[in-house]
Structure 1
Amino acid sequence: MDCAHYDAHRCRSCTLLEVPRADQLAAKTRQVQALLPDPDLEWQPPVVGPGERFRNKAKMVVGGTADAPTLGILDAAGSGIDLRDCPLHSAGLQAALPLLAAFISTAAIAPYDVTARRGELKHLLVTESEAGELMVRFVLRSQEPVTRISKHLPGLLAALPRLRVVSVNLQPEHKAVLEGEREIVLHGSTLAMRVNDLTLHLRPQSFFQTNTEVAASLYRQAAAWVAELLPVGETAPAQVWDLYCGVGGFALHLARPGLAVTGVEVSAEAVASARTSARELGAPAEFVAADATAWALAQDRSPDLVVVNPPRRGIGPVLAGWLEDSGVRHVLYSSCNAESLARDLAAMPSLRPRRAVLLDMFPQTRHYEVLVLAERTD
């Protein structure tokens, strides 16, 4: 991948950009296999997607001025570096960002000055679906610009006819937090994300994998493994929990007659998204808005299989301890941090890793996703 910003040392976020892709993948494979050294663990070939234009989401720090905004990152002095042509972004995101920069000027939204602690617009968050439809979220310090955004919104919708959702997120605190708790939706409600043969709904404040193509492979692999473990028969439905389920990617790919799937996610917006998708698909899956660990510990019986897809910190000792002591036969663990994955697996030694696959979800960086199937041995 060629990047003028990297070459000019304006942005060095792609830390492996100068490393050939094959060498990147080899290094990631060595690292994760060293962290999970079980000799009985069967590794499948890594899943590799495109090396550029794979990101379906742009998380842009807004700098500069209302008349000349920058969309990208800040330098060490707090000045904006414009990265609206970042080659990691999809073609649709690259086309939309200049129009959104023009809208910031039209609506006279002052970018937030980190050094001076004044201004309004902190971040611009833009998501594109496989169909080229868009969600745009303005992260503001206060509601002061909302009236102007609403006034000029028809012009933005005309300039971006595939814009389906527009919202304002309020993040009033001066700290390194991407967004706040309060969301004001100005247009639309959900963005339809087509993954494999399913349509998943994405509302503001809902997590979705950044790389749609590799995420589709992740869900297909999970569904294939579970289908082998829990074939549909004449007995009572097998029970599956999808903890940290987000908008229901795993749960909805696993749901089928004969399988009772329950997804648990702390984000009420994500759960609303998952319920909408399940209703439209007619999928036999239920979704609960709750803390995954607290919910699991409160149940009076354990399921046949648990899927976990936690944030980078992992599931932690409490949930790992519960899984170790439970009657759960299989755990399907999707992780973006192999170190916390290894720590969690060590805390449940009765559940031995049997199958694993590395997915190159974040090329040009040291990050990746890894899916592990663990089986109870006692």
Structure 2
Amino acid sequence: MLRLAALRARGIQTASLGVHQVSRNVRSLFEAVPTESFPIGRQWRHLNAAAASDAAIVDVLDESVIDSQSTSLSSSSDLRPDTSQLDAAAQEHELGPEGHSENLSEMPSETPSNTLSEIANLSSETLMGAAEKAAAAAVLPKTKPIHPKQNSELELVCESLAYGGAAVCKVPETGFVLMVNGALPGERLLARVMRKKRSMAQAVKLRTLEPPPNLVEPPCQHATDCGGCKTQNWAYESQVAEKQKQVEELIIRVGRFPRGSGWMKPAVPCEQRFNYRNKMEFSFGNRIWTAVAPGKAPRTAPGTAKPPPQRGTDFGLGLHAPGRFDKILPIDECWLQDAAANRVLRIVAEWARGSQAECPVYDSVTHDGFLRHLTIRKGSDTDTGAVRLMVNIQTAGSQPELLQPVVDRLVAEVPEVASVVNNVNDSPGCGSVGKQEHLLYGKPYIKERLRGLEFEISANSFFQTNTNQAEVLYGLVEDACGLSGEKSEVILDLFCGTGTIGLSMAHRAKHVYGYELVPEAVADAVRNAERNGIQNATFIQGDLNKLKEDFGRQFQTPDVVITDPNRPGMHPKLLRFLSECGARRIVYVSCNPSTQARDLDVLCHGEDNRGEGVGPYELVSVQPVDMFPHTSHIESVAVLDQRLSSS
């Protein structure tokens, strides 16, 4: 085994003549290799002899172990290095701290002639290994590493927003992707690399160097720190355009549907861009979030044992700081909820701050305390349209009498309050759904009118959080179903919640079957049907992620299926059922376009994942609906028709 680095230690230098001789030997081997035998995958291109310069060959020989016992090759006309060899060569060709290999000019000036002869007459097998590494080196950047170093600071330009709101930036020299929170398309920024992965890295924005176009002044004082409205400082038209692009790219890349085939419809914007939410959840906490230097956080000194958790001593009622379950950003006004709801928020915060001796806030680290969450829901008087509020105070213990002082004050000072309940949750998790419920004032529900129907909304039932835009969404779903109007079709409403979508279409259907996991939601759906005099609707409680063998026997064969799953999408067994159910049309409503795209791939391209259009359905259209302005969230309505060959 011979290594050129060892020659340095013996005071030997590779002279120009020797280098060129090695280069000619390597080139002669390259010429014997068919160009098409080199793989194209990843960053590799077709290579030929001219791709390996003298300098590249010297670098490779200098950094490589030259093994005269390399794998023998059957003949010089059948040399076919594979991808794994080239990948290994790329990994072995380590660049220095500035992206360069070590400089050969540092070697001594005298070179014995027998050493030049030894280098020039290396075996074909040995030189072929060097040739492969030279080929790899020829396509790798020679100025900077592909992967930026952790904690390095880079100037970047945000190219787009990924689904979820993170900014997509790329290292200019290499195209390496970095995900940065808090940046907008077109913004030039300084960022620090925090976490590196194989194909991308996460970075934190340090400061803006050049603002993005279409920047606006956010009206909310918490917009900079709160993670709820990440794009409140960006023109709304730009937000909608970016969301449409995200949905389209996900359907194309994940769902494997062709671009420009006419299936993508324009996104539907939201007319009411503030105060649109009918439900907001706030948390009590005794650890207040304060800004720290970007990318830096206090750490325990090396060698110091981590101290045991101590109960916090602060007080706050607000939203969790971005990425933190234990830190609260105090909020006294939220621009997403109604003005009356903000009055409730301030009254409860004032009372709780002065009642810490009797009602301490719950500590999410030590798991002790009493006050946990505050949820405010908005409905309306179905006769007058006036705002009606339900206040739900969640506690860790069942002592509803401790809450009576704040209940009395809310009823006296906020006439919109129609119901106050106390949910009890003694589990250590952060969930806001209680195991027990105490009614402290009014009725255990509020009402809302949607698409001509009246609905009851209990403390823990699901209801679309943007009532006005839900009118728009449900209208699109009804149109997408393509009902004849003759009340001849059977509708299967999967993940039906409180039955809002199916019930709003019952007047045009033969029968509606709703399927839902949460028992309380099913009970609400049954009451909602009775309240509106609807007799052609049946609601079934069951887990659509754990289908039983008799699934499908509880309802008639559907003509139209409406499915509105939660973020994880649909289970493979449910997708298999839909593929075989024979419905002429499926309308897929989703709050997560990435899992929607995955499921559309199965329904349209088959379970074998070949992507050749062999599934039972074909994609007709996809239309985004913006239910939540200034956030990264988007609803998407996809329409699928049964293929003629499958009918």
Same fold (TM over 0.5): yes
**Aligned match for 2:560, one of 298, 301, 305:** 305
C-alpha distance in 2 between matches for 1:330 and 1:181: 39
Give the one of 309, 319, 326 matched to 2:574: 319
Which residue pairs with 2:419 in the alignment? 165
The equivalent position to 1:246 in structure 2, one of 474, 492, 497, is 497
How far residue 165 of structure 1 moved from its aligned partner, in angstroms, is 2.5
Indicate yes or no: 2:438 matched with 1:184. Answer: yes
Aligned mate of 2:599, from 328, 344, 349: 344
The offset of 1:370, in angstroms, is: 0.8
2:331 counterpart (66, 69, 83)? 83
1:130-159 Cα shifts (integer Å, max 9, x gaps): 43111111221121x312224663443233
CA–CA separation in structure 1 for the residues paired with 2:325 and 2:510: 55
CA distance in 2, matches of 1:316, 1:49: 34
Q: Does 1:93 align with 2:346?
A: no
Give 1:61's aligned residue. 283
Instruction: Indicate which of 18, 26, 36 corresponds to 2:241.
Output: 26
Deviates more, 1:130-139 or 1:148-157: 148-157
Matched-pair contact (CA < 8 Å) for 1:240–1:304: yes
| CA shift digits 1:303-324 (9 cap, x unpaired) | 1111111110111211111101
Deviation at 1:196, TM superposition (A): 3.1
Q: Classify 1:248/1:324 alpha carbon distance in 2 versus 1 (closer, same or farther; 3 Å).
A: same
Q: Which runs of 4+ in 1 moved over 6 A?
A: none
Aligned counterparts of 2:485 and 2:622: Cα–Cα separation in 1: 20
Q: Normalising to structure 1: TM-score of the pair?
A: 0.89
What is the distance in 2 between the residues matched to 1:316 and 1:27?
A: 29
From 629, 642, 645, the counterpart of 1:363: 629
Give the drift of 1:44. Answer: 4.5
Which structure 2 residue ranges, 5 or more long, are not aligned?
1-217, 288-312, 381-385, 605-615
Match of 1:71 in 2: 317
Q: Residue in 1 aligned with 2:270?
A: 48
Say whether the 8 Å CA contact 1:248–1:263 is kept in structure 2: yes
Decide whether the 8 Å contact of 1:68 with 1:105 is kept in 2.
Answer: no
Structure 1 SS opposite 2:273:
coil
Deviation at 1:253, TM superposition (A): 1.0
- Secondary structure of the equivalent of 2:222? helix
Does the alignment pair 1:263 with 2:514?
A: yes
- Distance, in Å, in 1 between the alignment partners of 2:493 and 2:351 is 40
8 Å contact from structure 1 (residues 106, 152) kept in 2: no
Instruction: Return the structure number with greater relative CO, CA threshold 8 A, min gap 6.
Output: 1
Quote the residue 2:378 is aligned against. 128
Q: Is the 1:103–1:156 Cα contact (8 Å) retained in structure 2?
A: no
The alignment's TM-score, normalised by the length of structure 2, stands at: 0.54
Deviations 1:53-98 (A, max 9, x none): 1111111011249x99532124559453221302122222112211
Aligned pair count?
370
Partners of 1:193 and 1:305 in 2: how far apart? 27
Q: Which has the larger radius of gyration?
A: 2
Instruction: Give distance in 2, aligned partners of 1:273 and 1:203.
Output: 8
User: What do you get for the CA RMSD once the two structures are aligned?
Assistant: 2.5
Match of 1:15 among 201, 212, 230: 230
How far the C-alpha of 1:170 sits from its partner, in A, is 2.2
Shift of 1:289: 2.2
Q: Which residue of 391, 394, 397 maps to 1:142?
A: 397
% same residue: 26
Task: Give the Å deviation of 1:176.
Answer: 3.2
Q: Structure 1 residues 196, 99: closer, same or farther in 2, change over 3 A? A: farther
Q: Residue in 2 aligned with 1:198?
A: 453
Structure 2 CA distance for aligned equivalents of residues 295 and 278 of structure 1? 26
Which runs of 5 or more residues in structure 1 are unaligned? none
The 2-side partners of 1:296 and 1:2 are apart by 54
Structure 1 residue 6 corresponds to structure 2 residue 223: yes
Residue 221 of structure 1 and its aligned partner are, at CA, apart by 1.4
Partners of 2:485 and 2:508 within 8 A in 1: no
**Gap change, CA 1:137 and 1:296, over 3 Å in 2:** farther
Structure-2 change in CA distance of 1:69 and 1:361 (3 Å): same
Residues 227-238 of structure 1: pairs in structure 2 closer than 5 A: 228-232=482-486, 237-238=488-489
Q: Match for 1:298: what amino acid?
A: F
Shift of 1:40: 4.5
Q: Which letter does structure 1 place at the counterpart of 2:623?
A: V
Higher relative strand content: 1
Q: Per the alignment, in what secondary structure is the counterpart of residue 292 of structure 1?
A: coil
Structure 1 residue matching 2:603: 3-state secondary structure: coil
